[in-house]
Structure 1
Amino acid sequence: MSIPWADIGTVSTAGLSAIATWGAWLAARRSAKTAETVARVERQRWHADLTPQFNVTIERGEGHRATLSVRLVGPVPLRRLDEIAVRIVSSDDMDRTARLPGGPTQEELDAQVWGPFRFTDGADGADADGQAVAPFALEVGTGRPFSIERTRHPHWQVGPDAERHWRDQWVNEPMRLVLTCRREEFEPWVVPCEVEVPGDVRVRWLN
Structure 2
Amino acid sequence: MTDVSWTDILSAVSAVIALCISRTANKAAFHANRAADQANATADAVAQVERDRWHHEMTPQFDVTITRLGPSSDQASLMLTFEGPAALERLDEVELEIRDDGYTHGVGVAGGTNEQELANTIWGPYRFKPGVDGAGPIGRTSPAVSMVLGDRLKRALEESFPPSWTDRDYWRGRYGNEPVRLWVRCQRDGYQPWMLTYDVAVADPQG
Q: Structure 1-normalised TM-score?
A: 0.82
Give the deviation of 1:101 after TM superposition: 4.3
Give the deviation of 1:103 after TM superposition: 4.4
Please, what is the CA RMSD of the aligned residues?
Answer: 2.3
Report whether the alignment pairs 1:186 with 2:194. Answer: no
CA separation in 2, counterparts of 1:136 and 1:31?
A: 43
Distance 1:58 1:8, change over 3 A: same
Deviation digits for residues 31-81 of structure 1, max 9, x if unmatched?
A: 111111111122122222222221111234375332211112122233322
Instruction: Name 2:42's counterpart in structure 1.
Output: 34
Q: What are the within-5 Å matches in structure 2 for residues 78-157 of structure 1? A: 78-90=88-100, 92-157=101-166
Instruction: Name 1:173's counterpart in structure 2.
Output: 178
Instruction: Name 1:50's counterpart in structure 2.
Output: 58
Give the deviation of 1:93 after TM superposition: 4.2
CA separation in 1, counterparts of 2:161 and 2:38?
A: 61
Structure 1 residues not aligned, in runs of 5+: 202-207
Once the two structures are overlaid, the 10-residue window that deviates more, 100-109 or 183-192, is: 100-109
CA separation in 2, counterparts of 1:163 and 1:99?
A: 19
Q: Give 1:148's aligned amino acid.
A: L
Classify the secondary structure of the residue corresponding to 2:79. strand
Q: Structure 2-normalised TM-score?
A: 0.82
Structure 2 residues not aligned, in runs of 5+: none
Deviation digits for residues 77-135 of structure 1, max 9, x if unmatched?
A: 33322222211112x44321444342442321221112221111111111111111111
Alignment check: 8 A CA contact 1:98 1:106 kept: no
Q: Give 2:128's aligned amino acid.
A: F
CA separation in 2, counterparts of 1:50 and 1:99?
A: 45
Report whether the alignment pairs 1:75 with 2:81. Answer: no
Q: Which has the larger radius of gyration?
A: 2
| Aligned-pair identity (%) | 33
Deviation digits for residues 161-186 of structure 1, max 9, x if unmatched?
A: x4343323322211111112222233
Classify the secondary structure of the residue corresponding to 2:165. coil
Alignment check: 8 A CA contact 1:85 1:132 kept: yes
CA separation in 2, counterparts of 1:115 and 1:153?
A: 9
Aligned length: 196
Q: Give 2:17's aligned amino acid.
A: G
